[in-house]
């Protein structure tokens, strides 16, 4: 697996976040920091998540995406778009209930001009643990299946 990277672009309040390679919890602080800055943009109008370059996505990353979708829906009143070109990642998204949070699209994300790599933000062990807990709470909130899937992990993390 390739090391994961997060790339992004924005123009006039429209954001594209592209996950590339094997995206794991080590990038959780990077993702969360970028998304927080995105919300502060007074022109924020849309966000597309492009997973076409992703080879693997862990549950923490999925949880951070779920958290993003929940906040966008609550605060801005729309569902983000998520693009996937990989059948196994598309199945994973559906198995986690992402169709409830996102406009799921299979195929390339076109029109993402000027995408650049976001510098990695290293979080302390405690910060990363907090991100993992937040992410899994978001996933567990999507469905009863997810709650059962992650309850043992959450119990271990919270003790």
Could you name the CATH architecture of 5-158? 2-Layer Sandwich (3.30)
Does the pTM surpass 0.85? The reply is yes
Q: How far apart, in whole angstroms, are the C-alpha atoms of residue 2 and residue 78?
A: 33
Structural domain boundaries in the chain: 5-158
Phi-psi region of 114 (alpha: psi -120 to 50; beta: other; left: phi over 0): left
Q: What is the pLDDT along the chain (159 residues), one digit of tens a residue?
A: 458 999 999 999 999 999 999 999 999 999 999 999 999 999 999 999 999 999 999 999 999 999 999 999 999 999 999 999 999 999 999 999 999 999 999 888 766 678 899 999 988 999 989 999 999 999 999 999 999 999 999 999 887
């Amino acid at each position: 697996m390739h090391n994961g990277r997060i790339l992004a672009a924005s123009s006039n309040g429209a954001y594209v976040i592209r996950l590339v390679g094997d995206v794991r919890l080590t990038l959780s602080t990077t993702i969360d920091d970028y998304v927080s800055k995105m919300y502060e943009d007074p022109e924020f109008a849309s966000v597309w998540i492009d997973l076409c370059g992703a080879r693997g996505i862990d549950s923490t990353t999925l949880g951070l995406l779920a958290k993003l979708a929940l906040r966008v829906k609550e605060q801005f009143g729309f569902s983000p778009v998520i693009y996937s070109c990989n059948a196994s990642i598309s199945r994973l998204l559906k198995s986690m209930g992402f169709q409830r949070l996102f406009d799921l699209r299979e195929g390339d994300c076109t029109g993402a001009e000027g995408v650049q790599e976001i510098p990695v933000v290293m979080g302390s062990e405690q910060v990363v643990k907090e991100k993992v807990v937040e992410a899994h709470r978001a996933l567990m909130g999507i469905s009863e299946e997810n709650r059962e899937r992650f309850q043992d992990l959450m119990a271990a993390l919270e003790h």
